[in-house]
A = this chain, B = another copy of it.
Amino acid sequence: MAKRIKKIAVMTSGGDSPGMNAAIRSVVRACAYYRTECVGVYRGYQGMIEGDFTLMTARSVNNIIHKGGTILKSARSKEFMTVDGRKKAHENLLEHNIDALVVIGGDGSFTGGVVFNKEYNFPVIGIPGTIDNDIHGTSHTLGYDTALNTAMDAIDKIRDTASSHDRLFFVEVMGRDAGFIALNAGVGAGAEEILIPEEDLGLDRMLESLKKSKRSGKSSSIVVVAEGDKSGKNVYELANYVEENLPEYEVRVSVLGHMQRGGSPTCFDRVLASRLGVKAVELLIDGNSNLMVGLKNNEVIATDLEKAIKGIQNIDMELLRVSDIMTT
């Protein structure tokens, strides 16, 4: 039978995303509710190795639900990839009588959790926190909804200028190897073209479509490009390519960049964080491990942590079709 869980550690790891603080708050409050102690680990696995811990009570997380970033800070730890690093981390956990770990992060962070769990049979639950939405086992990762709105609002602003000057803008959005942000923010912002890694339609098709758009009376256009786009050209090269082939267009480029990772989380991300944090704690208290909590069909579910890492989160092909119809 599983050991009774009396003290849980929580950390954020990998790239930060809006909603991480709301998730920390939820884990801490759920621990308080279930009369379980809670310890915050600073700077992810690196802080675990260095024993950078802080005791957290329900009051420690007052007034953080609306904050971007993570009060526990985040980092990438090379040392945790070594046997020695993980050994130190484990010793620190034991020394502080910590019985289980909640990791808020992306697939890299979960991989660390899986290895650690295998080596030390230490209970680990993952909460998917990344703006990229590229995690299997959840329809939404924490921060994704916020990043969509941040990117879309920026493109709305760029459209003001694009329309005023009859220009064509190439706007690069984040998303690593996934096109979720590009596709959804692109549809939301009414982009004329959306280039995503999941579907490489070739540059000729884009030229054809832009030509058609011009003929149909549209004088300005927005092309949203996912950073992981597979066209073989980066966003600047794409812009040059179009300018050379379609001299009727005046082309500009904007790379939205790191602002997409920050900002106050949307209501969706805050509510999701609150739900996932409670579930993570309850799963640990009930003796579970090696799971990731996530959302499927608006319900909180648990997925095997290894499956979450290896699985693929498929993009919605129906939405690609809707996007095509919208640019009629």
Contact = CB atoms under 8 A, between A and B. Distances in A.
Interface of A: 12, 16, 18, 20, 25-26, 29-30, 32-33, 58-59, 62-63, 65-70, 73-75, 139, 145, 148-150, 152, 154, 156-161, 163-166, 169, 184-185, 187-190, 216-218, 252-264, 266-268, 270-271, 274-275, 278, 296-300, 316, 318-319, 321-323, 325-328
Number of copies: 4
Contact of A325 (B33, B253, B259): B33
B58 A261 contact: no
B262 A254 contact: no
A274 B187 contact: yes
A26 to B, nearest CB: 7
A258 B239 CA distance: 15
A29 B325 contact: yes
B267 A156 contact: no
A266 B169 CA distance: 22
Contacts of A165: 16, 73-75
Contacts of A190: 25, 63, 65-66
A69 B161 contact: yes
B160 A319 contact: no
Given A26-B326, A74-B165, A184-B271, 16 more contacts: A25-B190, A62-B218, A63-B159, A65-B188, A69-B163, A69-B164, A75-B166, A148-B267, A152-B267, A152-B270, A160-B263, A184-B267, A187-B274, A188-B271, A256-B257, A275-B322
A149 B68 contact: no
Given A26-B326, A66-B156, A275-B318, A257 B254 contact: yes
Nearest to A297: B297
A233 B261 CA distance: 27
A161 B261 contact: yes
A62 to B, nearest CB: 7
A254 B154 CA distance: 14
B158 A262 contact: yes
Interface centre among A65, A139, A158, A262 (most CB of B within 10 A): A262
A255 B257 contact: yes
Contacts of A65: 188-190
